Structure 1
Amino acid sequence: MDADRFSPDASLPAMEPALKQALEQSSAPVVGFVGRLHPDKGIDTLFQALRICADRGAEAQLLIVGGDEGAHVDERIDGRQTSIPVHVTGFAADVRPTLREMDILVLPSRREGFPNVVLEAAAMTVPAIVSDATGCVDSVIDGETGVIVPVGDAERLANELMALLGNRGDRERLGSAARARVIAEFEPQRVWALHAQRWVA
C-alpha cells in the first residue's frame, strides 16, 4: 500500500464537476461504498441500514463507486429504498478523488478476499465499517481503526453508522489510527521485509 499516493494531502485528479456539485449541495456526512456492485458485496444490507438511519432522523448521503454486476442499484434508488441522497459514479480507474469525499467507508460483504479498498481508505484517513466476513475482519482493528459488524445485520450496521455519523471526533480518531496502521504494517518496504524474513527462516 502506497501511503504517499493514497494520502489526504496528495495532489489528486479533479473530481467530475457534476458529482462534486451534487455532493456539496448537502452538508451531510458522506457514507461511501467502493467495489463491484454484486450481491456478494452486501449492498442490500447497506441500503437497509441507511433506511433505518434515515427513519431515525440521521443526515447522510451515499456515494457509490463501482459498476453494477447484479446488485440492481438503480432499481433500489428508483424504488426509494433509502430516502437519503444517493450518488453513483460507475467504475472509476482512480478512486482517490472519491475516497477523499467520504467520511465513512462501508463494506458489508457476505464473502471477500482481503479488501484493498479498506486500506486505501484508511491511508486517506477514512474509517471503515466492515462485515465480519473472512478477509474483511483482517482489514480493520475493531474499535481502533474501524468497526466490525455481523454479516447481513442491517440493524447493527445502522447503529454503528448512527454513532459515527453523529460524532466527527470519533471518525477522525479512527481515521488517524487507520492511516497509522497502514504506514506501520502495510507499506511496501514493511511487507517486503516480512517476506524476506520468512524466506531466510
Structure 2
Amino acid sequence: SCIPWIASIHGWLGETHTRRWQWYEHIEGHLVKNAKAVMVGSRSTQKEVEAFGATNVHVIHHGIVVPESTKWQTEAVKLRSEIGAGPDTSVIGVVTRIHPGKGVRLLVSAIIELLQRGRDVIGVIAGVGPEREDIIRELESAGLTHKVRMPGYVEDANPWMAAMDIVALPTLKDSFPFSVIDAVAMGKPVVTTTVGDLPLAVIDGENGFLVPPGEVQPLAAALERLVQNREMRSQFGKRGRKLIQDQFSPAAMTEKLEAMYLSVLEK
C-alpha cells in the first residue's frame, strides 16, 4: 500500500489569477482526492476541495501571537513622519501582494474618494505584484503619489502596520489572509470583504467593517466612518485583539493539527 500523505491547500484564487496558476490549481484539485487528509485555511476552501472529491478535510486557521500594544511604536512614528502624516492624519493601508484578486485598485479608488471629500488621509500600500507599476503610473498622472504611497517590498510588515490607523483589504477572493489577521491582532480596525473566513476575524460593527467585494462606494463609506471617529477606531482595535487572543491562539491551532494527524494514523 502507498505511504499516506497530507495535502495543505492555502487557498485558490481561481479566475482572479493567471491562466497558468488556474491550471496549477486545477491539477491540485485532482490530486487532493488521493490525500489521507487535507488541511485548508478556510471553510470556503474546504468546500472547493470537497467538490473535487477530497475527504477528511480539516479547517485549521493560523495561530496568532498577539503582540505588545506598544511594540514597533518608535518605527511607526518615524514612518508616519517620512510619509508626511500629521497628528490628525488617518493613515489607511495594507501590506499585501499587489495582485488583482486583492482589490488594491478598489482601495486606491476609495482613498481618492476620501481625498476628494476633503478628508485628511494618506494611503500606504506596501508590497509587490503585477499591478504595482500600473497603479503607480496612474497615481503619477493624477499627481497623487504623495497621498497614496507605494513603498514596494518591505522586509518587516509590522512597523508599517503599526503606522496605520486603519487597515483595509477589499479582497475579491481569499481564504484567511495574514495581512488582515495580523492587523486585527495588532489592534487595528479593519475594513475588508465578506469572502473566505474573514467574517470570523472581522465582526462587522465590532472590530471592523465588512463590505461587499468589488464595490468602491461601500468601501469608501466604511473607511470614512472610521476616519471621522477616533474613539470607534480605539474600541474596534481593543475588541479585535481580544478576539484573536480568545479564538486564534497558537495552542488552538496545535490542537487541531494534532487531531488531523491522529485521524490519519488511526485509519
User: Which one-letter code corresponds to 1:150 in the other structure?
Assistant: P
Q: Deviations over 1:76-131 (max 9, x none)?
A: 22122858712222112311111110111000111112111211111111111001
Q: CA deviation at 1:21?
A: 2.9
Task: Give aligned-pair identity as a percent.
Answer: 26
Residues 126 and 25 (structure 1 numbering): CA distance in 2 closer, same or farther, change over 3 Å? closer
Residues 79 and 130 (structure 1 numbering): CA distance in 2 closer, same or farther, change over 3 Å? same
Q: Structure 2 matches for 1:132-171, cutoff 5 A?
A: 132-171=194-233
Match of 2:109 among 23, 28, 48: 48
Moved more, 187-196 or 149-158: 187-196
Moved more, 152-161 or 19-28: 19-28
Q: Does 1:23 align with 2:89?
A: no
Say if 1:50 and 1:82, in contact at 8 Å, map to a contact too: no
Say if 2:107 and 2:170, in contact at 8 Å, map to a contact too: yes
Alpha-carbon separation, structure 2, partners of 1:200 and 1:50: 48
Alpha-carbon separation, structure 2, partners of 1:157 and 1:179: 23
Q: Give the 3-state SS of the residue equivalent to 1:63 in structure 2.
A: strand
Residues 144 and 197 (structure 1 numbering): CA distance in 2 closer, same or farther, change over 3 Å? farther
Alpha-carbon separation, structure 2, partners of 1:94 and 1:12: 14
Gaps of 5+ in 1: none
Alpha-carbon separation, structure 1, partners of 2:181 and 2:164: 14
Residues 184 and 16 (structure 1 numbering): CA distance in 2 closer, same or farther, change over 3 Å? closer
Alpha-carbon separation, structure 1, partners of 2:143 and 2:111: 9
- Which residue pairs with 1:95 in the alignment? 157
Alpha-carbon separation, structure 1, partners of 2:81 and 2:245: 32
The higher radius of gyration belongs to 2
- Which residue pairs with 1:35 in the alignment? 96
Gaps of 5+ in 2: 1-62
TM-score with structure 1 setting the length: 0.86
Q: CA deviation at 1:165?
A: 0.2
TM-score with structure 2 setting the length: 0.66
Alpha-carbon separation, structure 2, partners of 1:25 and 1:11: 17
Say if 1:38 and 1:70, in contact at 8 Å, map to a contact too: yes
User: Which one-letter code corresponds to 2:99 in the other structure?
Assistant: H
Alpha-carbon separation, structure 2, partners of 1:97 and 1:111: 26
Residues 168 and 25 (structure 1 numbering): CA distance in 2 closer, same or farther, change over 3 Å? closer
User: Which one-letter code corresponds to 1:153 in the other structure?
Assistant: E
Alpha-carbon separation, structure 2, partners of 1:81 and 1:200: 58
Moved more, 65-74 or 44-53: 65-74
- Which residue pairs with 1:110 in the alignment? 172
Say if 1:30 and 1:103, in contact at 8 Å, map to a contact too: yes
Alpha-carbon separation, structure 2, partners of 1:90 and 1:13: 21
Moved more, 170-179 or 184-193: 184-193
Say if 1:114 and 1:135, in contact at 8 Å, map to a contact too: yes
Say if 2:65 and 2:250, in contact at 8 Å, map to a contact too: no
Q: CA deviation at 1:169?
A: 0.6
Residues 155 and 140 (structure 1 numbering): CA distance in 2 closer, same or farther, change over 3 Å? same
| Two-structure CA RMSD over aligned residues (Å) | 2.6
Say if 1:54 and 1:84, in contact at 8 Å, map to a contact too: no
- Which residue pairs with 2:118 in the alignment? 57
Say if 2:76 and 2:162, in contact at 8 Å, map to a contact too: no
